[in-house]
Structure 1
Amino acid sequence: MTARGVGLLAAAVGLLGVGFWFGYPDLAVLGAAAVSALVVAVGHAVWRPRLGVERAADPDRVARGEPAAVTLTIRNTSRLRAATLIATDRCGPATVDVPVLRLRPGRDTTTGYPVPTHRRGLVPIGPLRITRGDPFGLISLDRVHGGTTTVRVHPRIHPLAAVPAGLTRSLDGQADRVPHGTITFDALREYVPGDELRRVHWRSSAKVGELMVREQLDTAEPSLVVLLDDRSAGHRGDSFEDACEAAASVLAATVREGLPVSLHLVCGEASGPFLDTLTEVQPAAGDLGATLRRLRGQRLGDTLIFLTGPGGRDDLGAVGGMRGAYPVVLAALLGDRDTVAPAPATDRVIVIEAADGAEFAAAWDGVRGW
């Protein structure tokens, strides 16, 4: 009930009371008329129009800053009455006015509006909220129609030209860099029936007096472990958004090259597609030490990429301790690097400092040893 409706109800009660108590029939008639207006208003507002609502987001997954739009179709499925509506649609934290003035039976109207993609995350769309009122403005009733959809705003991906090289142990115990894996000689053994003759090593066979064949080894491809620091204490300003862009760029480049890669978070579990995980993750409280101990025990790859913000500068020593389990360790400090001291130089960790994701990509391609 609107303020006007509340006022009319109070006036109706007063007029009826005074009219009947003191015997003024004119006042009683006015009170009865006010009550009748309220009853008519309630009946008009309570009528629920039959509406069909269809909503489509194109695209429903988009990189931060790229355009996305929603197309909304409203159809009056009633057979007799036209619907005079005031409609709004939810779009993220805001509402969008939908121009629906009078919709005849069996007709539909289509409208569209852009989706805000300036921030990474999930943008919920809908449901449609219909406001019904009476001609006197006494009653206002809100109802929701249709379902909801979600637009996923992924972090931006900056192209990376370089990818790490694989590391494998040779027979003399040295760590050799092998780009993208290869087949290499491992050892000689005696011939057994079924071995291919093209693998016979004739020079060794002549010396030994028996057929000797070459054993070949498929060296390991480079395997990356991306650890995103999602601790609130590790970031300032938009540094977490920049770290998500750096993670998305590394993951995209690695997947493009067909190399094994895994994504890990300090404060939670990374489940589902990489970009969806990076879209939904938010800074929280977590224990970096426990995460590093878990990754050290699992030894999931040969290259560890640690992405953090200015608040993670003091953790470079702990990250450098991962060199025993991961031959290559790279730490990237994202965010405003002009207000803090430079990261300490160390031979255990390759350190990249970048103000944003684009600068990270340039610094990544400039790292020697990939």
Structure 2
Amino acid sequence: MAVDRLLPTPEAEDLIALTRELADKELAPRADTHEKGEIYPEGLFATLGRAGLLGLPYAEEFGGGGQPYEVYLQVLEELAARWAAVAVATSVHTLACHPVNAFGSDAQKERWLPDMLGGELIGGYSLSEPQAGSDAAALTCKAEQVTDATGALTGYRITGNKAWITHGGKADFYALFARTAPGSHGISCFLAPGAADGLSFGKPEEKMGLQAVPTTSAMWDGAVIEPDRLLGTEGQGLQIAFSALDSGRLGIAACATGLAQAALDAAVGYANERTTFGRKIVDHQGLGFLLADMAAAVDSARATYLDAARRRDLGRPFSRQASVAKLIATDAAMKVTTDAVQVLGGYGYTRDFPVERYMREAKIMQIFEGTNQIQRLVISRQLAQ
């Protein structure tokens, strides 16, 4: 069912209506077939870009939507309720645009942002490595300066392996984090091209869920990229990465909430149609209470991410609230999708109904953008200050 949203402006209401219409037409009919067949949705992200949904929280000056984060996240939730993999990839694309938007020069913004925000260029985020996931300071992928005979900088040679890249091998650019010097202050951020001599991608991971959008490793074997692809200054990489993490966590919280809402809707729909002992199963108190708990979990998840987003929009600190939202929303998604399978009984365990897919998709949301154990660490550390 359509969520009764409290939106700040009539423009935001129109945007949600547009998103629902597009998602019902372009996402919902394709999701199951593409996920089962692990088929990439060619052209779909360009469609989202043309509709203005890939640059919503960025300034209109460069082609963004100029929308507050609370509105952008609710758009993301609507997408996730139809197709979680597409919503997650949209969140990752938004995250990948952040380094250019926040740390790029005027020339870099003018050169790249319009196509990135308009969907002509789709982005991936390349921070993790095989031995460096939550510990970003442990990166080993190198970016070495290349100079000409006069000593002038002509590029950076990238060498090393990256892992867990959403849209890997499909994206047009990557926010790439690589080491330019020793120590935690020796990591830099680059706007890396999606194709280059010396860049190759591994076989897509055989994942439990989100199978229509590939997740791969990347091997940089001495590929040289232009010097103007450095974003910010050398050694500023961790600052850039961390500046986007809280916002990225809110993106995943919104995706998880949309997924949980889809599972709740499926469970309620089934419970209103299925009868046992002469009554709809929704009228049996035991099941009705289970559905009530599921609805409460979804509403709570939505409330936590909106609280954090509104703090962000007001320019107030929101790091702890972002971690709380990511923790609450993704744990809720795991619980609600599991309960949806239970509501459907044996049918829920089959691929004839989508709830088994929802359950598989929910699990990864407790892991990426910082595991929920990391979120607890962030929250506890802030409480101790």
**TM-score by shorter chain over 0.5:** no
Higher helix share: 2
TM-score by length of 1: 0.19
Which gives a bigger RCO, structure 1 or 2 (Cα 8 Å, sep 6+)? 2
TM-score by length of 2: 0.18
Which has more strand, going by share of residues?
1
Highest CA radius of gyration, 1 or 2? Answer: 1
